[in-house]
Structure 1
Amino acid sequence: MENPSKESLQKLLRLIGELCEIEENHWFKESLASMLSVNYEFENFPEFLKHQKNQFRLKGKSFYESIGDVKLKKELVGDYIEMSWYQSINNLDRFMLFAFYQMENLLNHYITISNAYEKIDKNKDYYTHQYKSNFIVLVYDSFFYNNKKKSIDKINIWAKLTFWMKDSDNVKWEQLNHRNISNLISVRNANSHRNSNSKNEYVVNTIETLKKLDISSLGFYYNVLRKVLESYKDVNPNVKVYEVSTSKTKLQGPKQVGYVDLSKIKK
C-alpha cells in the first residue's frame, strides 16, 4: 500500500475526530481506542488514564446494559467509571461515595417505575419498618408532606431503601446486607458534610480497614447495586392494599454477610 501524504493523513484525522464526536458512533471510538492500545506500554500517564477509564466504561455499559433510559444509563455508567477508578487506586472513601450515588439513582428509578407514591398512600402502615428498637422508618412521612408528594430528591435514603425492599420482597436480603448498605450511607453522609465534624470515627475506621483487605471484600458493594438492578425485572406498578397486623412481634436484628468486625482487626 502506498503511503498517503501528510496532508491526506491530517484530513483523515479530522474526519475520524468528527466521527468520534457523534453519539451514535461511540462504539467506533471505543473500538479505535482498544485497537490502538494493543501492546502500548503506557509511558504517557494521561494516555494510560484514558485507557483505564475506557475499560471501566466498557464494564459499566455491560453492567447497565438492561437500562433503557438513556439519561439514567449515562449517569450510572459515569458513576461506575469513577467508582472503578477510585477502587483501582485504593481510595475507598471515593469508591463508596460513587457506589452510593449509583444505589440511590437505581432506587429512584425503581420508585418511578413501580408507582411508589400511590402504593405508599394506600398502605401507610405496611411500608413502615423497624430496623432496630430505636430506628423506625415511616416511609409515608418521607414521601409525603401535608398529604402532598415530595420531590424524589427530598426523600430520605432510608425511606427509599425501605420501600424498595418491601415492594420487591427483599426484606431478608436487606437484613443479610444491612451493614454494607449502612456503610455506603454513612460514608455518603460523611462526605456531604466534609467541612464539619460529622466524619465520625466509625466511618474512618471502616475506610481504613477496607484499604487493607483484598478486592473480594468490595464485592459486597457491587452486589448491592446488582440486586437493586435485578429487581427491575419483576417490578409491578399495580397497587395492592395490604392488611397489617397490629400485634407486636419480636424484633430480629439484621444479620450480616461479609461484615468485618473492626474490633477484631489488629492495629
Structure 2
Amino acid sequence: MNEGDLRKFIEFTKTLLTQLHGNTDYAWFFKSFNLEVVNNFFQNTSYNNGLDKFQSITKSDIGRIKAYLNFIDKKAYNYGKVFYQNISDNNLKAELIKDFKEMKIALKNDDIIEFGRRLSLQLENIFNFSLNSLDVHALISANYQQYQSVTPNWPNYKGNPFNFYNSFFSITKNKNQYEPVELSRVSFNTKSIFLSIHFNYQVNARNIKDIYFLRNKGSHRDQLSQNDQQTLNRIISDFDKNYSFYHKVLFDVVYGIPNIR
C-alpha cells in the first residue's frame, strides 16, 4: 500500500467513523476498533475514542502505519524467497513468490478464503509450468494407449484407471479428430494426479481438495449450495488445526516435481 492509498483509506475511515459515531448499535465496533487498531498504532493518546484520533491523525501516525505494513509485506516476501530459492525459472519464481507473500498476508489477516486462493494459484502455476516442460501433449500422444488406462501405484487404491488421453485431448466436431486441450482448460485435479503419478510423489487428497474448494467456491459464498456451505464452514472451523497440512501440500508438490528446480 503506497502513501496515496493509505491516505484514501484514512479518509474513508474518517467518514465511516463519523457516520457511525453516537449510534449505540455500533458500540461494539468502536470498542473493537479502539482495542485492535487505534491503540496499536497511534501515539497521540490524549483522545478518548477512535474518531477523535482519526480526525487528528498526524504524519508520524501515517509513517508508523506504513512502516508496520511494509514490515509485514517484506517479511512475507522474504519467506517466499527462501521457500522458492531453488526454482530454476525466474518468471515462475517471481510469480510464486508474489502469491506466497499474499498467502502469508492473508493468513496474518485471518482471511482463509484468500489464503486458499493464493495457495491454489501457486499450485496451478507449478502444475502448468511442469506440464509445459514435459511437453505433456506430445508425451501422451506418443504413448496414447498407455495413457488411456493408468492405474496409480497408491497404497490401497481401488478406483478405476485414469484416462489421461481423454483429459488432455478432445475430439473436434468439425474435423472429427482428437486435438490437444489447452492446459488452462484441463482440470486442476487432473493436472495434480497426472504429475503425482508421473513423478511418483503423493499429496493428501482431502487437503488439496479443500485448497481448491477455497479458490473455486470461497469467492462465491452467496451462491453456495447447502453442501458447499457446510464444506466451507468445516474448512473455516478446522483451519487452525489443518493449516500446517495445507502448507504441507505445497511443500510436497514443490519438492515432488523435479523439473521446476
Structure 2: give runs of 5+ residues left out of the alignment.
1-60, 172-177
For 2:224 and 2:216, the matched residues in 1 are separated by 11
Match of 1:113 in 2: 133
Q: Residue 90 and residue 154 in structure 1: after superposition, are their counterparts in 2 closer, same or farther (change >3 A)? A: same
1:19-46 Cα distance to aligned partner (Å, 9 max, x none)? xxxxxxxxxxxxxxxxxxxxxx997223
Match of 1:9 in 2: none
Deviation at 1:137, TM superposition (A): 5.0
Q: Check the 8 A contact 2:148/2:166 in 1, yes or no.
A: no
Structure 1: give runs of 5+ residues left out of the alignment.
1-40, 236-267
Deviation at 1:234, TM superposition (A): 6.5
Q: Residue 137 and residue 87 in structure 1: after superposition, are their counterparts in 2 closer, same or farther (change >3 A)? A: farther
**Out of 222, 226, 238, which is 1:209 matched to?**
238
Match of 1:200 in 2: 229
Amino acid at match of 2:165: Y
Report the structure number with the largest CA radius of gyration.
2
Amino acid at match of 1:153: S
Amino acid at match of 1:85: I
Q: Check the 8 A contact 2:99/2:122 in 1, yes or no.
A: yes
Structure with the larger helix share: 2
Q: Check the 8 A contact 1:83/1:94 in 2, yes or no.
A: yes
Which gives a bigger RCO, structure 1 or 2 (Cα 8 Å, sep 6+)?
Answer: 1
1:223-246 Cα distance to aligned partner (Å, 9 max, x none)? 2112222234378xxxxxxxxxxx
Q: Give the alignment of 1:104-253 within 5 angstroms.
A: 104-121=124-141, 122=143, 123-127=146-150, 137-146=162-171, 147-170=178-201, 173-174=202-203, 177-191=204-218, 193-194=220-221, 196-198=223-225, 199-210=228-239, 213=240, 217-233=242-258
Deviation at 1:208, TM superposition (A): 2.3
- TM-score of the superposed pair, with normalisation by structure 2: 0.63
Match of 1:54 in 2: 74
**Out of 73, 92, 109, which is 1:72 matched to?**
92
Q: Residue 234 and residue 108 in structure 1: after superposition, are their counterparts in 2 closer, same or farther (change >3 A)? A: closer
Amino acid at match of 1:222: H
Match of 1:17 in 2: none
For 2:234 and 2:128, the matched residues in 1 are separated by 29
